[in-house]
Amino acid sequence: MTLSHLDKAGKASMVDVSGKDVTERIASARVTVKLNSEAFEALSENKIKKGDVLAVANIAGINAAKKTSELIPLTHQINLRHVKIEFVLDKESSKIEITTEVKANDKTGVEMEALTAASVSALTIYDMCKSIDRTVEISNLRVIFKSGGKSGKFENE
């Protein structure tokens, strides 16, 4: 098995994608944030002292997707066409499910951008809610969909 991010000498290197075709690339990621009931209620009612948590988490996630190549050393700089972040609140479990979707027309996929957006959105919720809940849990980060390129479509709901 050959690892794509190692050169012939076994050193880390960026994959050369210059020979690949430009195709529409789409990726979605999902992560769950669990809050205690007090923090979840404050977030739901927009009563967190730092401000509108979901609005800030949305912008943070979008910015993170755009800066992925600055954060993850061997990723390519990609000209993103669209970043969408959705938050689904489940009052019964005090959980927030964050789903991201990232699109680009490029030579390499956008899974890392989708994962980075989900991660930073979740971390932003943690940061804004930690004064009420020091037990915030972020879990189950994963790619749930990918399409484009030679490997085609992947679904992992």
CA–chain centroid gap for 57, Å, is 11
Per the annotation, the verdict on 127 as an active-site residue is yes
Q: How far is CA 99 from CA 6, 20, 45, 116, in A?
A: 31, 28, 21, 11
d(CA 52, CA 37): 17
Which residues touch 112 (CB under 8 Å, ≥6 apart)?
68, 72, 75
Write down the catalytic residue from 7, 16, 106, 127: 127
User: Catalytic residue positions?
Assistant: 127
